[in-house]
Amino acid sequence: MSAAVTGSQGLWFLSRGSGLVLLVLFSLVVVLGVATRTGSAPARWPRFAVAELHRTLSLFAVALLVLHVVTAILDPFVTIGWAATLLPFASPYRTLAIGLGTLAVDLAGAVLVTSLARRRLGQRAWRAVHWLAYLAWPAAFLHSLTAGNDLGIWWVALVEVGSAAAVAAAVLARLFGRVRGGDPRGPGGPPPTRAATKPRRVPATSKAGGR
Amino acid sequence: MTTTGARLRVDPIACDGRGLCAEVLPELITLDDWGFPIIGDGEVPPGLMAAAGEAIRLCPLLALRRC
Amino acid sequence: MNAVDTRNREADGGPGLRAGHLPRLLPQRRGGGPASWEEHCARHGGLPVIGWDEGWRGQLMAEVGRSGLTGRGGAGFPTARKLRAVAAGRDAPVVIANGTEGEPASAKDKVLLAREPHLVLDGAVLAAQLVGARQAFVVVHEAVREIVDGAVAERKQGRRDGIRLKVMTGADRFVGGEASALVNWVGNGIPLPTVTPPRAAEHGLYGRPTLVQNVETLAHLALIARYGAAWFRSLGTAAEPGSMLVTLIGGVHRPGVYEIEIGRPVGEILALAGGPAVPLGALLVGGYFGTWAGPEAACPLPFSANGLSEVGASPGAGLIAALPADSCGLAETARVARYLAGESAGQCGPCVFGLDAIAGALEDLAVGRSFRPDLLRRWTGQVEGRGACHHPDGAVRLIRSALRVFGAEIDRHAQGLCCGRRPLGVLPVPPRRQP
């Protein structure tokens, strides 16, 4: 009987612990994703390293996510049910909180699958789904605030705040930042200031006279 | 000397000068003064096939292609 | 259907259509305005009615091949080869007649459509019948839209054609006349060039084989169908037969559009326009993707691809701009370069950023602020061939020829001096559009 209790406690700790690590990982992945897009990198890091780290960490996070979900469902003290792994708001226990987590899993799952099949899907389809990451993270974050009981612990609260701050900074950089391009060692000097992306000017013509 | 028959080309409309390709394959790809890749003519030598595959996979816009 | 054999008909339609004589496309007529359907038929006779008889189509296709007709839009691609490529496609083809004339200095397509719209429309109908298309889009410059609409309406009255003709106005962009951009303009209203291959002949409008042909080429086609290949070849050179329209601007007495025999010396063509009104410093041959040449070197040369190659030029879109000696060729080129940079579709980095940088360097040179031949050489080399279309290549060609021909001016500018006394504007540049 005590073994069962200890086992159950173990599952519960694993679930909470993996959840916290996941929040950190997921936040890092978002930050790295923005860094990949804007082409910014710490001093001497090549851009491909940033892109690869983004990918590697996200795959690692998926593995940890499996652990997190399985331990939570196997935990006998709370009834979540297997349906809730993919179906949002299907858990009798803390329906909303768990549901947010399920939502995050669904969205992140779509991002994962499309990313693995990117070459076959093509850039447009991949990109459209990848934007869902900006919905998945808030869902995961809100899940972490509502599904756990540990916000009273000071360092848990610190992790929550830190993660949110990092992602907020990344989102601002994504919205207002510039793409840095060009080899700064070119003989013409630093390249002329580039806009974030190439301007597609032609659609500005008036179509009215066309037909 | 074996030939691979593989050539690289970049779709200039898809490319946005992110520069990852030139980082992993500097022997064949250099960047112009605005960050856009200049691909060397000719085949990819056998020793660089792996790196070329990496460069194709890494392009965030799927602009680098093999032909 | 009556198959009226009007090929090789000798001229009972008027003096201009004898073998070996001009004018062909642009006859002298009393009164302004376009030739009506009646006037057109009086001169050329009705359109040879082909019907869908496979044999007739093959005969005319062979005739076009024998004529050696090439595209008059600037690229000079053999027309018969293009027709065959489109006809060989699997899906139902479609025809797009290109009268957009995005080149600001050129006026030949506008003039042709304004004066002889039925000749062009005949050609569009014939081309459609040759490739097996049921529909032809006629995309024209805004200036002549009304006239072409009127001509199409005239034809519809008699239900003559059996091909659906749809008139559209072209995009007001330099790149709007590029084949793939034109296909996109017709298809979805956005004149953006795409990467070729696949070419429009294989995969164009709605994915179907598409014949994109300049309106002047179609007009020649309409005449070949009536008078035959031998008649067409009675003018021009053996390698480059026929006549073509040229636009003369700048320091000549009578700027305008003229029809010439291919291979006529450049100096004689200038004489058609009354000759130089002022001493000339240089000639821009071909268009804004063309080449500068010195007048002494260029004037004796035949106006043909072979003849002009001696100075690195080609007929292109048929423009000859005569630059007065007291104009600053560098400043004019810098102005055109800035225009071309602004007309980039903005899809390809080397074109967008490269042409902008090159235009900036040329502007600096033109005002004597700085001279960086190393940068100009480097950047023109980096830009060439690295776009989806040939916009950057054409611009580079113009700029390289300017650096070659205006060498003496460059030295003066590098010292902060300039010889130009005439205000800028020999080469027309449309006003900057709102972004």
**Domains in chain A: boundaries:** 2-204
Gap from B28 CA to chain A (nearest CA, Å): 16
Residues 4-63 of B with CB under 8 A from A: 14, 16-20, 23-24, 31-36, 57-58, 60-62
Q: Which two tokens stand for residue C109?
A: 């397509």
Spatial strand order of the sheet with C243-250 comes to C256-261, C243-250, C319-324, C280-285, C291-293
DSSP C352: I
Which candidate in C194, C382, C390 is best for mutational testing of the B interface (most B CBs within 10 A)? C382
Q: Once rounded to an integer, what is the mean pLDDT over residues A141-146?
A: 94
Indicate whether A3 pLDDT > 80: no
Are residues C194 and C28 in contact, defined by beta-carbon separation less than 8 angstroms? no
Q: Once rounded to an integer, what is the mean pLDDT over residues C316-331?
A: 94
For residue A183, with 0-12 CB atoms within 10 Å meaning exposed, 13-18 middle and 19 or more buried, which class applies?
middle
Give the closest of C195, C350, C387 to B32, CB-based. Answer: C350
B61/A183 Cβ within 8 A: no
| pTM given for the model | 0.88
Give the closest of A200, A210, A211 to C346, CB-based. Answer: A200
Q: Which residues of A touch B66 (CB under 8 A)?
A: none
pLDDT confidence of C318, banded at 50, 70, 90?
very high
Closest CA to C293 of C301, C302, C285: C285
Give the residue with greater pLDDT, A82 vs A187: A82
Task: Count the Cβ atoms, other than its own, within 10 Å of residue A151.
Answer: 12
Report ipTM (2 d.p.).
0.94
Give the closest of B16, B20, B34 to A51, CB-based. Answer: B20
- The contact set of C with A (CB < 8 A) is 142, 145, 168-169, 171-173, 175-176, 181, 185, 189-192, 344-349, 352-353, 356-357, 360, 374-375, 378-379, 433-435
Gap from A179 CA to chain C (nearest CA, Å): 13
Give the residue with greater pLDDT, C168 vs C421: C168
What is the pLDDT at residue A186? Answer: 37
What is the pLDDT at residue C3? Answer: 34
Give the closest of A39, A122, A186 to B18, CB-based. Answer: A39
Q: How far apart are CA C426 and CA C172, in angstroms?
A: 21
Q: Which residues of C touch A194 (CB under 8 A)?
A: 353
Q: What is the mean pLDDT of chain A?
A: 82
Residues 38-67 of A with CB under 8 A from C: none
C357/B38 Cβ within 8 A: no
Are residues C51 and C294 in contact, defined by beta-carbon separation less than 8 angstroms? no
What is the pLDDT at residue C237? Answer: 95
Residue type, A80: I
**Domains in chain B: boundaries:** 8-66
For residue C204, with 0-12 CB atoms within 10 Å meaning exposed, 13-18 middle and 19 or more buried, which class applies?
buried
Give the closest of B14, B23, B31 to A182, CB-based. Answer: B31
Q: What is the pLDDT of residues C364-405, one digit of tens each?
A: 999 888 888 899 999 999 999 999 999 999 999 999 999 999
Q: How far apart are CA A96 and CA A115, in angstroms?
A: 28
- Subunits with at least 3 CB pairs below 8 A relative to chain A? B, C
Distance separating the N- and C-terminal Cα atoms of chain B: 20
> Nearest residue of C to residue A195 by CA position?
C353
Are residues C201 and C84 in contact, defined by beta-carbon separation less than 8 angstroms? no
The CATH T-level fold of domain B8-66 is Alpha-Beta Plaits (3.30.70)
Which candidate in B33, B64, B66 is best for mutational testing of the A interface (most A CBs within 10 A)? B33
Percent of chain A with pLDDT over 90: 51
Indicate whether C204 pLDDT > 60: yes
- Subunits with at least 3 CB pairs below 8 A relative to chain C? A, B
For residue C157, with 0-12 CB atoms within 10 Å meaning exposed, 13-18 middle and 19 or more buried, which class applies?
exposed
Q: What is the pLDDT of residues C268-294, one digit of tens each?
A: 999 999 999 999 999 999 999 999 999
Residues 6-35 of B with CB under 8 A from C: 11-13, 15-17, 32-35
Q: What is the pLDDT of residues A52-79, one digit of tens each?
A: 999 999 999 999 999 999 998 888 888 8
Domains of chain C by start residue, with CATH: 15-233 (3.40.50.11540), 243-324 (3.10.20.600), 329-414 (1.20.1440.230)
C375/A202 Cβ within 8 A: no
A–C: how many Cβ contacts below 8 A? 58
Indicate whether C211 pLDDT > 70: yes
Q: Which residues of C touch B34 (CB under 8 A)?
A: 349-350, 353-354, 357
Indicate whether C254 pLDDT > 60: yes
Q: Once rounded to an integer, what is the mean pLDDT over residues A88-105?
A: 89
- The contact set of A with B (CB < 8 A) is 36-37, 39, 46-48, 51-52, 118-119, 122-123, 179, 181-183, 186, 188, 191-192, 194, 197-198
Percent of chain C with pLDDT over 90: 73
Are residues C103 and C214 in contact, defined by beta-carbon separation less than 8 angstroms? no
Indicate whether A85 pLDDT > 90: no
Q: How far is Cα of residue C323 from the mean position of the Cα atoms in its chain?
A: 21
